[in-house]
Amino acid sequence: MEHEILKALGISNDHFQQLLFAVMTSISGKKKVFISLNVPLQEYTNYALLLLELLFLYLPYAYRRNLGAITFTSEPETRTYIHVTFFEPGTLNIRDRSIEKQFVFDFSRRFISGVPAAVEQSEYLDIALQHLSEMKRMDDFFKFAEMVLAGLAEEEKHSLTSYNQLTGLYLTWKNGDFDLYLNDKLRFLNNLVKYLQFKSEEKSELVKLFLRILDNEKMADDWSMARFYTESVVSVNSLVRFDEVCLFLLETLRFYQKDPLYLELWKIIECNRLAFESLACYISNQPDYAYLLKDYLNLRINNLKLEDITFFKEIITDDFVAEIKEDILRDHFLILKVIFKLINLPTESVSHMLKLLTRNGREQLNRILQRILCELSLPIPIQLFFVAFETSGDGVDYPKLLDFLIDHYNENTMCSFIKENAHLVATDLLYRKSLKIYFITHPNSIWKDKKWRKELQDVNDGKFKLFIKGSRERHRQSTG
Mean pLDDT confidence for 323-328: 81
CA–CA gap between residue 259 and residue 256 (Å, rounded):
5
Predicted TM-score (pTM) of the model is: 0.75
Q: How confident is the model at residue 252 (pLDDT cuts 50, 70, 90)?
A: very high
The letter for the amino acid at 182 is L
pLDDT of residue 443: 87
Cβ neighbours, 10 Å, residue 175: 10
Domain with CATH 3.40.50 in the chain: 4-118
55 burial (CB, 10 Å; 0-12 / 13-18 / 19+) is buried
- The CA–CA distances, whole Å, from 85 to 3, 49, 82, 155 equal 22, 11, 7, 23
Host H or E run for residue 344: helix 327-344
Q: What is the pLDDT of residues 329-384, one digit of tens each?
A: 888 888 888 888 888 787 788 888 888 888 888 889 999 888 888 887 777 778 88
Question: What confidence score (pLDDT) does residue 305 get?
Answer: 77
CATH 3.40.50 for domain 4-118: yes
What is the C-alpha separation between 36 and 92, in angstroms, rounded?
A: 7
Query: Does the pLDDT of residue 230 top 90, yes or no?
Result: yes
Q: In b/e form, how buried is each residue of 178-214, taking b as 16+ CB within 10 angstroms?
A: eebbeeebeebbebbbebbeeebeebeebbebbbbbb
Strand partners, 106: 36, 111
Instruction: For 383-422, write each residue's pLDDT tens digit.
Output: 888 889 988 767 899 999 999 999 988 899 899 999 999 9
CA 176 to the chain's CA centroid? 29
**176: helix, strand or coil:** coil
Residue 307's CB is within 10 A of a number of other CB atoms, namely 7
